[in-house]
Amino acid sequence: MAETYILVIDWVLAEPQFAIEVEPDELPVVFVESLGPADIELVVQVAVVGHFIDTADIHFIDSRIEALEEIEGAPVRDGGLLVGLGGVAVDGSADVRGEIYRTPESIVGYHFPIDRTGRKPVMTQPPTQVEPEGLVTDQ
């Protein structure tokens, strides 16, 4: 499951439209929230954070207030991104829902087509943009 989330976060970080401006000695900040009813397991969180240790500052959050500035416009703290991730099937192929939030006006949703039948999950085609659902609720 961690490798699937890593695949999605890698895609987000590589997309120019989601570029995070940082100083040369800083890492981009990404807050991650579960979009499903279940939390993302701690062992998965540790694996994801470990994967990005040198390239991004990943924070899994329990409450959206941890990620958002308490000012008008509710931007993400530290100029980062809030990424919502849906549940992942144990094996096989499935869409994983992902949503990216910078401000309330700039939330974008995607379905990521993931094949988990091999040794490592792969994105079978580019993600499809969908209406955001999980990150558009009240903070």
What's the mean pLDDT when you consider all of the chain?
Answer: 91
- Write out pLDDT tens, residues 84-112: 999 887 667 778 999 999 988 899 999 99
Residue 4 has pLDDT above 80, yes or no: yes
Q: Which of the pair, 70 or 128, is modelled with greater confidence? A: 128
At 7-21, the pLDDT tens digits run 999 999 999 999 999
* Euclidean distance between CA atoms 84 and 34, whole angstroms: 6
Distance CA 98, CA 110 (A): 5
pTM above 0.95, yes or no: no
Higher-confidence residue of 72 and 99: namely 99
* The amino acid at 81: L
